[in-house]
Structure 1
Amino acid sequence: MAAAANNGGQRPFVDLVSVVPQPLPEMSVAFRLLKSKDGEIFFQFSKEEVQRSAEPFRYSIVLKFLRNRPSLDAIRAFIHKRWNLDGIPVVSNMRHPRNVFIRMVSEEDCMKALSREVNDIDGIPYRPFHWTPDFKEEEEPSIVPMWIVLPGLPPNYYHESFLKILTAPIGRFIRSDNSTRCVTRTDGARICVEMDAAKKPLPYFWIGMPGLGTSRKQEIIYETLPAFYSKCKIQGHNLKTCRAGKKSARSNVWVRQQEPIVEEPTDKINNPVIEDTEVETNKATEENRVLVDPILLVEVLEPEKDQEENLEILDLAKDMNPGSIEGNWIARTD
């Protein structure tokens, strides 16, 4: 009641949300005329106006489900049972059917939701993102919550004020786990930070002046370091595994389409057999040529030999019976 009296009788916006969804608080903005550039109409607001308009949503997050998301009622019931929040968040759908907008009532609830170690609802995994006025549904911001371990960190540095300082070069401190808060595990501090996955992770830092014997070189272990490709702004892959980058690269190359080549069945045409047949045919031709030529010579020579023998016989016959033999020979030759 006192808080309401101090605010002029109006209850804080977070109290209204924790009970039942209420309209946004009034915000006065000076009216302005539209502007135009190159035929395009636009409106322009100051940075301070945008920040004031986003004040009711500074503890809001976006859940991007990797598959078809559960119903809003199922998400509300799961959050109420499992997330252990102090207030009742407002859960609403977004333009993309897999995205859900969750408006928390406090920073502590927002940090609990972002730093959950198991990110799924009813078995459907999701990626959590802290909402800002620059958030775009078609893109995924590179700022993501991530658990890190500072192995061997002395327990006197487990205080939250120290951890916020030590993790400042890595990202924004969200919270430490229960073992670190209660110092029940002294082999290292485990912390959830909100860091930029597009940047190269810091491998270590020094506590004290580097190189001095009293100084400590502190290693950083990243439990879940998601891949992020800054060109397509999607988590879970990089340049090598980006399908969109490969697809766009292929679309810029024009290739002339070739006519399909129809191959005949191999049982009808067998090239090796044809080659062997030609070789065998050539070999047979050469062999025949060698074998046939002597036969032709013999056939040519044999008639000459027969004629000589016949002439000899004819001469003998003339000697024995010149008349009859000559007439018979002449008749046979005709």
Structure 2
Amino acid sequence: MINAKTSHSTLQGTDFTRLWLRRIWTIQGFPMRIFKWDPTFNPSQESSVVPLWVEFPELPAHLFQKDALFAVANMVGTPLQLDDFAVNQATLTCAKVCIEVDLNRPLLEEFIINIRGVNLVQKVVYEQAPQYCKLCKHISHQEKDCYASGNAPKPAKPNLRHKAQARKRNIV
């Protein structure tokens, strides 16, 4: 769990962003998930707030500057980091921004950008958006596939003792 009380603009390029973007770390064979701290944190529930890479295809070229991209990204969630290609303006066909998104809310598919009285429909494309179950509060499945609803068998708990013993045998 990471406590980040500073604004997103001061987080860009920090260790927080690097750690949180990875989502899952494996330490000695055990998966560890990184969550952004929240006052309602409950260790038996996974946070619905996740960082996602979001693409804005066919974004007008004059919006490929950091402040403009962050303003566009704010329509979807809280922007965290720009893709290197967007920062360097290496490609002006599609902007890519990492955005903090709450999976409890519907993901925005498009929105209107008004440029000097002309409305443009801006598409939003999410890269690898995970599913979030509102019943058991875990990432990786939807309510219809949740064991809490009775529609699927309860997942087996990993045998941590067996894993630890196997690791000891490999170390010694």
TM-score between the two structures when normalised by the length of structure 1: 0.39
Shift of 1:155: 2.8
1:302 aligns with none
1:140 aligns with 2:46: yes
Change (3 A) 1:202 1:247: closer
2:120 aligns with 216
Q: 2:17 aligns with which of 106, 111, 116?
A: 111
Task: Output aligned runs, 1:118-267, within 5 Å.
Answer: 119-121=24-26, 126-208=32-114, 214-246=118-150
**Distance (whole Å) between structure 2 residues aligned to residue 247 and residue 184 of structure 1:** 47
2:68 partner amino acid? F
**Distance (whole Å) between structure 2 residues aligned to residue 184 and residue 158 of structure 1:** 10
**Percent of residue pairs identical:** 26
1:260-299 CA distance string (max 9 Å, x none): xxxxxxxxxxxxxxxxxxxxxxxxxxxxxxxxxxxxxxxx
Aligned length: 144
With a CA cutoff of 8 Å and minimum separation of 6, indicate the structure with the bigger relative contact order: 2
**Distance (whole Å) between structure 1 residues aligned to residue 106 and residue 4 of structure 2:** 27
Larger fraction in helix: 1
Change (3 A) 1:57 1:125: closer
SS in 1 for 2:18: helix
Largest Rg, 1 or 2: 1
Shift of 1:111: 1.7
Structure 2 unaligned segments of length 5 or more: list them: 153-172
2:164 aligns with none
**Distance (whole Å) between structure 1 residues aligned to residue 124 and residue 31 of structure 2:** 27
1:58 partner amino acid? A
1:113 partner amino acid? L
TM-score between the two structures when normalised by the length of structure 2: 0.72
Structure 1 unaligned segments of length 5 or more: list them: 1-55, 61-105, 249-334
1:296 aligns with none
Larger fraction in strand: 2
SS in 2 for 1:139: coil
Shift of 1:124: 6.1
